[in-house]
Amino acid sequence: MNQIFIDFYQKERRYNFCSSVRSEIAEHDVSLKNNGFLAFPWKRDSLSWMFKEFPDENFQWKEDIDHSITLVKPFNIYFVNCGNHRIACGKYFNKDGMLKCNTTIDYTNILREYDFDGEYFIDGNKKRINKPFHAEFVDMFILGKVIIGMQKIQ
């Protein structure tokens, strides 16, 4: 999760990412059908099997022991740590199911400290850090800026 926007793993290593995003949350149940997830399935064989099985209306989606999600604030979406294929397919086929979540991160400080210049994410000194990994992450970053801007007004 330290590379959704800014590459804190390689490019901005001096930034204390962990303390910046630290947030506490009580364990809670998360509906697969009614929440947003960032999942990154990568294994074609797993997806092929799931695309055959999941459309069957009798197929029951169940949380697996290795599934792990993290709430990402201020977006209130869930990042999939483990279980990318099953969670993505369950969401795609609109399956009912519940997952447990007991971790959270809050990107508010990062959204306040960094910006986007149309091509690169930049720091407060206008230094270019990295290009977005996915175009959709730019939209998400800008949405996050709007969300925290609205929080200031309220």
Residue ranges covered by each domain of the chain: 1-15+116-154, 28-102
The whole-model pTM stands at 0.81
Q: Please report the pLDDT score of residue 2 as a whole number.
A: 73
Q: How far apart are CA 147 and CA 133, in angstroms?
A: 22
Q: How far apart are CA 68 and CA 27, in angstroms?
A: 12
> Residue 132 half-sphere exposure, CB side, CA atoms within 13 Å?
15
pLDDT in tens, 72-96: 999 999 999 998 888 988 888 888 9
In the three-class reduction of DSSP (H, G, I as helix; E, B as strand; rest coil), residue 12 is classed as: coil
Band of the pLDDT at 153, cuts 50, 70, 90?
Answer: very low
Whole-Å CA distances, 70 to 73, 89, 127: 10, 18, 30
Asked if residues 74 and 107 have their Cβ atoms less than 8 Å apart, the reply is yes
Q: How far apart are CA 100 and CA 68, in angstroms?
A: 8
pLDDT in tens, 27-48: 999 999 999 998 888 878 877 8
**For residue 107, what are the contacts with CB-CB under 8 A and spacing of at least 6?**
4, 5, 21, 72, 73, 74, 75, 144
Residue 45: Cβ within 10 Å count: 8
